[in-house]
């Protein structure tokens, strides 16, 4: 088992555990540092959704930087258990919500949830972005919602009318893009 250091905020310097799992591709520290330099300061009443949460590094970093509530979605049992223990060890379990289910089920079944910040970091080459993003935009966001998408080959031009590209970064074959919902 390896660990990831929380970059900044109230939990900065603490570590979370992760595992070698082919379904897990933790966002590198350099990229997380870049993302949160874009996002700071996070509005203190922000509600965050971390889909495909894995170890929870993005959602935990958002919480550490001031998000009021973070909802984590992870379907893999091993990764969910690690995420649960990470939140337990950081003593934030009572302030976050963990769901052990697929992102598709969460998006399909959840009603009346609006988020200020959404992390969408699915396994590459599974077409989850095109499958989930239209419903995320229409049902889980409002004008001004920030959506961070990490993908290897996502064609964001398909969403030009709904999303405004704010920033982008890359690491290896991974591209991270921060969008703002226009609606």
| CATH code for the domain of 6 | 3.40.50.150
Positive or negative CA dihedral for 44, 39, 178, 7? negative
3-24: per-residue pLDDT in tens?
A: 889 998 999 999 998 877 665 6
Q: Is the pLDDT of residue 182 over 80?
A: yes
100 or 37, which is more confident: 100
Q: Which domain holds residue 9?
A: 2-181
For the chain, the domain total comes to: 1
More confident residue, 29 or 54: 54
- Distance between CA atoms of residues 73 and 164, nearest Å: 25
144 Cβ contact list (under 8 Å, min separation 6): 116, 180, 181
pLDDT per position as a tens digit, 103-116: 999 999 998 899 99
């Amino acid at each position: 088992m390896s660990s990831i250091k929380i970059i900044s905020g109230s939990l900065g310097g603490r570590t979370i555990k992760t595992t070698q799992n082919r379904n897990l591709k933790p966002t590198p520290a350099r990229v997380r540092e870049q993302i949160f330099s874009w996002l700071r300061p996070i509005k203190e009443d922000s509600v965050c959704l971390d889909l495909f949460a894995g170890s929870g590094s993005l959602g935990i970093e958002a919480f550490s930087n001031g998000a009021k509530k973070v909802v984590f979605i992870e379907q893999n049992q091993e990764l969910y258990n690690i995420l649960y223990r990470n939140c337990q060890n950081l003593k934030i379990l009572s302030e976050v919500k963990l769901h052990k289910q697929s992102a598709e089920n969460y998006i399909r079944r959840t009603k009346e949830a609006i988020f200020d910040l959404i992390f969408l970091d699915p396994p590459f080459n599974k077409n989850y972005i095109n499958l989930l993003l239209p419903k995320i935009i229409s049902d889980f966001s409002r004008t001004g919602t920030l959506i961070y998408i990490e993908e290897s080959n996502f064609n964001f031009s398909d969403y030009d009318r709904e999303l405004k590209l704010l920033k982008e970064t890359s690491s290896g074959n991974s591209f991270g893009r921060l969008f703002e919902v226009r609606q």
